[in-house]
């Protein structure tokens, strides 16, 4: 009869240990020495302000698939004139997943969506640089692992054959401000191999092969430039919601990969 209280105490103790362990993980996320190195390497001694009033991020607390983790970066203050965003995945082999540069045609952009790989539990950070040079950062801690070495979703021969094929979309969307808003979607078929994936047939690692540059123009005006690497997922996808400066629909995109291949597509060709 005396065993029941002991069992209850053991269950309570086990629960407290789990909570403490999870708290420890979150504490490590808040005090990451890797970020100290990255911050110095990319921004030197410049002050980085808390960014939630200027920029915010949506990310899953625990990712369903570490190889395709959805990320949404929101321009909380569309009047802040965010000129570029550095997207970091602290613990990835290549932590800087991308630099997204918003050109004149994207002035007043509202949100940016993409998919990334995550190699281990890590902070994901978006650092916005304003036109006046200020830096504002937002971050989310994501529980995911193995994304950089996960096998490709598609057959590799088929993926290589389709490398560079694009689908482009440009749609009107309902904006919160009542102003005209548009959504530009860029989908690129590409294996985006990390060099860490193992081929079970050949028993060799698959060589790194990824998109590193994406450039978009709208009606001949620069819209978005992206410098990236394999930290973006297989078959990279980018969605930009913005207020167009014209009513045209001539979306032109080109991409360059690590083998020097250049791929280009125009909207009318894509539909």
Q: What is the pLDDT of residues 2-11, one digit of tens each?
A: 445 444 444 4
Q: What is the pLDDT of residues 33-71, one digit of tens each?
A: 899 999 999 999 999 998 889 999 999 999 999 999 999
C-alpha to C-alpha distance for 220 and 267, rounded to whole angstroms:
12
| pLDDT for residue 29 is more than 50 | no
Q: What is the pLDDT of residues 212-255, one digit of tens each?
A: 999 999 999 999 999 999 999 999 999 999 988 766 679 999 99
Name the token pair of 150: 């996960």
Nearest to 211 by CA among 184, 238, 250: 238
Give DSSP secondary structure letters for 14-48.
HHHHHHHHHHHHHHHHHS-HHHHHHHHHHHTT--E
Burial 69-96 (b: 16+ CB within 10 A, else e): bbbebbbbbbebbbbbbbbbbbbbebbb
The pLDDT value recorded for residue 202 is 73
Average pLDDT score, the chain = 86
Q: What is the pLDDT of residues 150-185, one digit of tens each?
A: 887 778 888 899 999 999 999 887 655 556 789 999
Is 256 in contact with 262 (CB distance < 8 Å)? yes
CATH fold, domain 33-270, is Immunoglobulin-like (2.60.40)
């Amino acid at each position: 009869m005396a065993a029941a209280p002991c069992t209850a105490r053991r269950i309570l103790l086990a629960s407290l240990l789990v909570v403490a362990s999870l708290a420890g993980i979150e504490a490590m996320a808040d005090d990451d020495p890797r970020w100290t190195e990255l911050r110095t390497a990319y921004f030197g001694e410049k002050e980085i302000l808390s960014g939630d009033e200027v920029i915010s991020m949506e990310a899953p607390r625990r990712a369903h698939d570490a190889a395709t983790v959805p990320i949404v970066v929101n321009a909380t203050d569309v009047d802040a004139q965010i000129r570029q965003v550095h997207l970091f995945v602290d613990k990835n082999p290549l932590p800087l997943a991308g630099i997204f540069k918003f050109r004149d045609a994207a002035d007043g952009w509202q949100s940016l969506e993409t998919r990334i790989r995550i190699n281990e539990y890590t902070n994901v950070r978006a650092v916005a640089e304003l036109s006046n040079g200020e830096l504002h950062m937002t971050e989310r801690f994501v529980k995911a692992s193995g994304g950089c070495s996960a096998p490709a979703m598609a057959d590799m021969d088929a993926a290589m054959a389709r490398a560079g094929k694009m689908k482009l979309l440009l749609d009107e969307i309902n904006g919160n401000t009542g102003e005209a808003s548009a959504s530009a979607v860029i989908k690129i078929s590409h294996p985006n191999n990390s060099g860490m994936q193992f081929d079970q047939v050949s028993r060799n690692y698959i060589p790194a092969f990824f998109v590193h540059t994406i450039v978009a123009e709208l009606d001949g005006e620069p819209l978005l430039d992206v410098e990236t690497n394999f930290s973006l997922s297989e078959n990279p996808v980018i969605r930009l919601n913005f207020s167009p400066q014209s009513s045209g629909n001539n979306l032109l995109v080109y991409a360059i990969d690590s083998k020097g291949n250049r791929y280009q597509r125009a909207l009318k060709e894509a539909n």
